[in-house]
Amino acid sequence: VFEAALLADNQRRASAVRARFEHARITALNLIGAPGAGKTALLVATILALSDRACTVIEGDQATDNDAKRIAATGCRVVQVNTGAGCHLDAEMIAGALGRLEPNDGSLLFVENVGNLVCPALFDLGEAAKVVVMSVTEGDDKPLKYPHVFRAASAMVLNKVDLVPHLEVDPAQLVANALRVNPALAVFSLSATRGLGLEPWCGWLRARARAAA
């Protein structure tokens, strides 16, 4: 469900948020993925691996502050946004959360969107880049079936690769399908909970943060 006026209004607010980020040299990443893709586990592992970098997090969920608690346990500052029946974060919610979060100049800001591979693709949050997070358990055809988010993203994190031996999924085909939808996609295959393959992903984040400085 979407409307041109609503999207135009969001775009206006997102541009203001982006200008604010650029002024403060904050690198904001908008993480989008289905429920259970492992977005929060990825953030926990990433924050611990980037211990030399100032990070903050905005957590989006329909209900509960479970994810914010998991982030806070790492020592990272975090703000939870609950959307109720809403299916995605919007730029106004980010502007509101920033007032509470007060991220440092030059820091990395991770926004974890509501678990949904569909609607969040349409809403600019003022981020420097969208990152689509998917689990290998979701199957190799998903980039073709949900192309919008893969087209909108700059990077794909393919999570839970440790489970591949137990699945009928073909990770090479999955990556090929993602690149067919978006040839410019940076792809990182890893297991957040096992701590496998985190370094290339963290390297990409460091490079984005350096570029903003």
Nearer to a second copy, 63 or 184 (CB): 63
Q: Does 1 bind a second copy (CB under 8 A)?
A: yes
Q: Exposed, middle or buried: residue 95 (CB in 10 Å: 0-12, 13-18, 19+)? A: middle
Nearer to a second copy, 148 or 208 (CB): 148
CB 30 within 8 A of CB 120: yes
User: Angle between the 198-212 and 39-49 helix axes, to the nearest 10 degrees?
Assistant: 70
Q: How many CA atoms lie within 13 A of 127 on its CB side?
A: 28
Residues in 124-143 at the binding interface with a second copy, rule: CB under 8 A: 134-135, 137-139, 141-142
Residues in 61-120 at the binding interface with a second copy, rule: CB under 8 A: 61-64, 66-67, 85-88, 114-119
Residue 118 to residue 32: CA distance in whole angstroms:
9
Which residue type does 102 have? E
Nearer to a second copy, 90 or 127 (CB): 90
Nearer to a second copy, 76 or 89 (CB): 89
Nearer to a second copy, 86 or 197 (CB): 86
Whole-number minimum distance, CB 198 to a second copy, in Å?
A: 18
Residues in 36-65 at the binding interface with a second copy, rule: CB under 8 A: 36, 61-64
Whole-number minimum distance, CB 128 to a second copy, in Å?
A: 23
Q: Does 4 bind a second copy (CB under 8 A)?
A: no
Q: Which residue has the tokens 């329909």?
A: 62
The set of residues, in sequence order, having a beta carbon less than 8 Å from that of 171 and lying 6+ positions away, is 136, 140, 158, 161, 164, 189
- List the one residue out of 103, 104, 110, 101 whose CA is nearest residue 43: 110
Give residues in contact with a second copy (CB under 8 A). Answer: 1-3, 6, 34-36, 61-64, 66-67, 85-88, 114-119, 121-122, 134-135, 137-139, 141-142, 144-148, 160, 163, 166-168, 193
